[in-house]
Amino acid sequence: MTADEKVTLLHGPMLGMVPQAKRPPGVTIGAGYIPGIARLGIPALVESDASLGVANLGGVLRKGDVATALPSGLALAATWNPDLVYAGGKMIGSEARAKGFNVLLAGGVNLVRDPRGGRTFEYLGEDPLLAGRLVAAQIGGVQSNHIMSTIKHFALNDQETGRNIASVNFDEASARESDLLAFELGIEGGHPGAVMCSYNRVGDTYACENRFLLTDVLRRDWGFSGFVMSDWGAVHSVGALTAGLDQESGEALDTKRFFSTELSSALLAGEVPMAAVDRATLGILTAIYSQGLVDHPVIGKSAIDYAADGAVALRAEQQGIVLLRNQDGILPLKAHPRTILLVGGHGDLGVLSGGGSSQVSPVGGLRRRATATGSFTGYGYGGTPPLEALRTAFPDSVITYIDSTDLPATIAAAAKADIAVVIGEKFSSEGVDVRDLSLGGGQDDLIAAVAGANPNTVVVLETGNPVVMPWRDKVAAILEAWYPGQSGGTAVAQVLSGAVNPSGHLPVTFPADFGQIPNPVLPGSTMGPPSKQDKALYGSAVTSPTFDIGYPEGSDVGYRWYDARHAVPLYPFGFGLSYTHFAYAGLQAHGGATVRVTFRVTNTGTAAGADVPQVYVTLPGKARRLIGWSRTDLAPGQTRTVTVVADRRLLARYSVQNRGWLVAAGPVKVEVSRAATDPVLTASVRIAAAQLQP
């Protein structure tokens, strides 16, 4: 390869920002494009977002193009089912390939540290083991199509406020045991071709020029052999190349063309060694060849079986819906009710999805598009409308919809109906965090009023984040349906009718109130606008002067924080009800080199269903942490034996001094639980001391 050919691979535009006449012919417009080298048979990288389907920025990138929309990341995580998440990745990867893409910018795995995070809906929850194993499955599914996936956003980009300027500062050991562990597990298990470094700074150095992250952790410690691409507009120097960044994505969004014109000058001036270009080129080519982009080239476009793909999205939502409350077994709605009133949440239009780069225009399109402050895509409703799905699921019932703008009329209608189903919706988006944890828009009052008029009120939540529920004890039942995806309306109706037994379990804690979370005041939320100098220095995307983000919880993200502080959340991590019941027995726990437990799960109820028994350990002086789980489908009366073996990193603390994991000898409490705060079987074992290399 010539020097110019190597540099060609190191940068590229968003094709949508390139004048039509200058665009390569026949290339599908997506998020990014890196030219290939025809002389050498190296294909161009044609890149699309993202983790929930082939995104289309609200229909802007490819007018009229649609794709199957998976339910949100939290819904996928709530399935606790790696095989299903793999199937979801395989499906969206196949649609990306059919549309002409050979890179899918999937694999979002930032931990949910703050429940207000604007991209919480995209991610896989608060626990590094659950998120890491599920993102590995997603990446594996995407890449099974011989296209490349990313894992992103590396690292600690855990809030949207100030994402282009803020510096996350906290100790390395805590990062290694939480956010970085999720990435480590995802890379080990999924082998992504690329890592996408994030916008934020870590320890005052931008993630995309952070030698500690991109060279020491990623390559020296984890042996990552692919390449690092930047997030779009996340490059701030040509020196990023020597720090470990390999490719500048969406180059027009940066303040300079760092990996083209600036790099050429720096090479000529000897400021950047050619060896850095060779390292970057090797990483990119390694990913291209190892992911099959040469041996299985994406040529043109091909047909998509949207019905079959919609069935995958349906299965994901069926297993991702979490039943939070079911007073007196009102659900499933056994004897089909004569009349059902569906209230609010645009239930006649479709279901809600999250905003930003991951937004998919679902099959059937997005209806009623609306703008939202801070969201560059706005939002709309798509997929199967809940009203239509309810009518299919309850053919003998009279089902009416009311949009709740006229509250007295809504209350009157609710009083007459056998059942009232209220949809509580809350939009969230990349680019902006939500201000609080309430549903907003007067929905809390609406739900309370409907429940006051009808004791048989069921609430279905379409939210991207955890929410508080001041009306919780007034309603009969509550489902968390997240952003339900292409066939989500159908899945909700099937759970209400009992055709599907809900089996989702929370991948994120639902706080009772702000006072319980580590940073009650969202870092940066009180800053003023950026100065001209800030914009010049940090890029035009900055929304505030620079500020620091500290995470007092350290590695005790989510339920671990609540455990350490003996705080009782509204709903705990791992919680989820079923229409049947499960018993756990026969715990056998073994210590030594690691923790190994076996126990029996029995379906003691009358309906088939799936349970997710979780296994937690508590080390002396530490908060409990998840070491494993098993999603188990059981017929009534059926018993199955489950075995869980701990990854020893979860029994260890990270030692910066020893640059490795240290397992201390001593007693460990073991719990087999229904949720983080609901142990059923307990034991104590002793583990041996060990030092694990990274």
- Of residues 121 through 150, those in contact with ligand GLC by CB under 6 A are none
Closest CB 172 distance from ligand GLC, rounded Å: 24
Strands of the sheet containing 367-372, edge to edge, are: 351-352, 375-382, 367-372
Q: How far is the CB of 524 from ligand GLC (least distance, A)?
A: 17
Q: Which residues from 660-689 bind ligand GLC, rule CB under 6 A? A: none
Q: How far is the CB of 45 from ligand GLC (least distance, A)?
A: 13
What is the nearest approach in angstroms of ligand GLC to the Cβ of residue 120?
14
Instruction: Sort 568 into a burial class: Cβ within 10 Å, 0-12 / 13-18 / 19+.
Output: exposed
User: What six digits make up the tokens of 241?
Assistant: 């190349």
**Residue 18 near residue 31, CB atoms below 8 Å:** no
687 DSSP β-pair partners: 592, 666
Q: Give 201 or 325: the residue with its C-beta nearer to ligand GLC.
A: 201
CA distance 527 to 525: 6
How far apart are CB 47 and ligand GLC at their closest, in Å? Answer: 8
x/- binding map, residues 343-382, to ligand GLC, per CB under 6 A? --------------x-------------------------
CB of 534 to ligand GLC, least distance (A): 19
Shortest distance, CB of residue 353 to ligand GLC, whole angstroms?
15
Q: Tokens 């590396």 map to which residue?
A: 154
Positions 488 through 507 that interact with ligand GLC (CB under 6 A):
none
Nearer to ligand GLC (CB atom), residue 50 or residue 238: 50
The rounded distance, in Å, linking the Cα atoms of 253 and 233 is: 5
Structure token pair of residue 298: 């994406």
605 with 581: CB under 8 angstroms? yes
Q: Where are the alpha helices (DSSP H) in 301-427?
A: 306-320, 386-393, 407-416
CB closer to ligand GLC out of 139 and 652: 139
Name the minimum Å distance from CB 106 to ligand GLC: 9
Rounded CA gap, 311 and 363, in Å? 12
Among 177, 209, 231, 348, interactor with ligand GLC by CB under 6 A = 231
CA 35, 37, 43: angle at the middle one, nearest 5?
70
401 beta partners: 342
Q: What is the dihedral of CA 339, 341, 342, 343, to 10 degrees?
A: 180
The smaller minimum CB distance to ligand GLC, of residues 50 and 52, is found at 50
Strand partners of residue 684? 669
CA–CA dist 353, 434 (Å, integer): 15
Binding to ligand GLC (CB under 6 A): which residues in 248-307?
none
> Would the CA dihedral through 633, 635, 636, 639 be positive or negative?
negative
- Tell which one of 105, 240, 360, 549 touches ligand GLC (CB under 6 A): 105
Cβ proximity to ligand GLC, 122 vs 184, nearer residue: 122
- Toward ligand GLC, which CB reaches closer, 483 or 559? 483
- Rounded to a whole number of angstroms, the minimum distance from the CB of residue 150 to ligand GLC is 7
Residue 49 in the binding site for ligand GLC (CB under 6 A): yes
Interface residues with ligand GLC (CB under 6 A) are 31, 49-50, 105, 152-153, 231-232, 357
